[in-house]
Amino acid sequence: EVGTSVARRGSMTLLFFLALISVNLGVVNFLPIPIADGGHFVFLLYEQITGKPVSVAVQNIATIAGLVLVAGMFLFVTYNDISHLLFG
């Protein structure tokens, strides 16, 4: 709905809107969540500071925890959207 509304205002407004979404995605991707690039950056920072890499077991646990977090947020937002559509 918002994309359609922005597109009706002209191509420059639509391009600005698309650029804003792209920058937002880049910022979210750099958050220190283990399944995103920011999480890998945290692991690399740890390795740089300590001189030894994070163990594979810790990386796996952090990745699964990040995946559960993102999946939970996805399910919550989807449930919220559907409940607002059905019940006002």
32 CB-near residues (< 8 Å, 6+ apart): 38, 39, 41, 42
Task: Say what the pTM is.
Answer: 0.69
pLDDT tens for residues 18-60?
999 999 999 988 888 888 889 999 999 999 999 999 999 999 9
Q: What is the DSSP letter of 35?
A: T
- Rounded CA-CA distance 78/32 in Å is 23
Question: What is the chain's length?
Answer: 88
Residue among 54, 17, 46, 36 at smallest CA distance from 9: 17
